[in-house]
Amino acid sequence: MQKRLSLHQLWLMVQIYIQNVDENIETTRIYPLNELNNEQEIPLSSLIEY
């Protein structure tokens, strides 16, 4: 069984691919590079560049 984590926990220090950015509603579609089938839409404000 796969455990579902919150977005903050899931993406913390994980390399992601940003597929699409919608500037009108300030969201983006992303997926982790190690889990290509796990695409999600998240708020742009939740992304932090390291």
What is residue 6's predicted lDDT score, i.e. its pLDDT?
A: 46
What is residue 47's predicted lDDT score, i.e. its pLDDT?
A: 83
- pTM for the whole thing? 0.63
Calpha distance 2→41 (Å, rounded): 19
Place of tokens 């983006």: 28
Query: pLDDT by residue for the chain (50 residues), tens digit each?
Result: 444 444 544 556 778 889 889 999 999 999 988 888 989 999 998 887 76
What is residue 12's predicted lDDT score, i.e. its pLDDT?
A: 61
Enter the DSSP assignment of 4.
P
Residue 40 contacts residue 29 (beta carbons within 8 Å): yes
